[in-house]
Amino acid sequence: MAIAIKKPQDIEKLRISNRIVAQTLQLLSNEARSGMTLLELNAMGEDFIHSQGGRPAFKGLYGFPAGVCTSVNEVIIHGIPDKYVLKDGDIVGFDIGVEKDGWFGDAAVTIGIGEISKENQRLIDCSRDALYYAIKNIKVGMRFKELSFMLEEFIHAQGYVPLKSFCGHGLGRKPHEEPEIPNYLEGNNPRQGPKIKNGMVFCLEPMICHNSGVAKILEDKWAVVSEDGLFGSHYEHAVAIINNKAEILSVV
């Protein structure tokens, strides 16, 4: 496994792309409300990205038809924006990629529309809190499998399970680079595999399910749900390891 080490000037380029992602997520989170369609929000996101000199990196990636993944309620990731009209009580995840000057940004949030149930707020909080907990505890020299195990334990402690078969990833001149970073331990030993080093840039993205982490892909060949059919949530940040610490790049 060849995990790229980025130079300081490379990380600064990545910071620019990821800032556009963060600004777009902030815009959509502020504007999304009952009565809006997913297509309207996608257009808003794509227009903003273009206005910042970026390119919606997901549009056309592996054949995905839009610039913003819009995942509503039981759809956890990779929802295609359509004419669905948001209503109070919905939860919606926005996952956005941006390419600028050959460098990629990537992040995601899940938000509630209007008043949402306490149960759904707890679900959203779990994905967000798991992400920040993991970032806070990253140390140079620890193994990526230890990071995956840490995420899994946190999610289980909140009473949820991680989505299987999908993962975080490296980030750079491609939207998905090595390593793959599941939100759960693969195998039995977290003390094996590649170590985290200064200069590495990667995305962590907890994807949270209620009872079953077994993924099911819907008929559109993109939207991913849990086999339990219950609501899910998703948060993501791009982080760079700088001076032995994890720094979030996908911030405004």
Average pLDDT over residues 98-103: 98
Q: What is the pLDDT of residue 97?
A: 98
Q: Is the pLDDT of residue 127 over 80?
A: yes
Contact present, 237 and 252 (Cβ < 8 Å): no
Sign of torsion over alpha carbons 214, 131, 246, 28: positive
Rounded Cα distance, 106 and 86, in Å: 24
- Report CA-CA distances (Å) from 96 to 27, 46, 73, 236: 12, 9, 18, 10
Over pLDDT 90: what percentage of the chain? 99
Average pLDDT over residues 77-105: 98
- Report CA-CA distances (Å) from 195 to 1, 133, 140, 150, 250: 11, 19, 8, 15, 23
Confidence (pTM): 0.97
Q: What is the pLDDT of residues 6-25, one digit of tens each?
A: 999 999 999 999 999 999 99
Q: What is the pLDDT of residues 199-212, one digit of tens each?
A: 999 999 999 999 99
Q: What is the three-class DSSP state of 37?
A: strand
Q: Is the pLDDT of residue 189 over 80?
A: yes
Q: What is the three-class DSSP state of 43?
A: helix
Q: Which amino acid is at 220?
A: D
Q: What is the pLDDT of residues 18-62, one digit of tens each?
A: 999 999 999 999 999 999 999 999 999 999 999 999 999 999 999
pLDDT-based confidence at residue 2 (cuts at 50, 70, 90): confident
Q: What is the pLDDT of residue 154?
A: 98
Structural domains present in the chain: 8-248 (3.90.230.10)
pLDDT-based confidence at residue 172 (cuts at 50, 70, 90): very high
- If you average pLDDT over every residue of the chain, what do you get? 98
Q: Is the pLDDT of residue 1 over 90?
A: no
DSSP structure string for 133-145:
HHHHT--TT-BHH
Tell me how many degrees the CA angle 79-32-122 measures, rounded to the nearest 5.
Answer: 70
Q: What is the pLDDT of residue 207?
A: 98
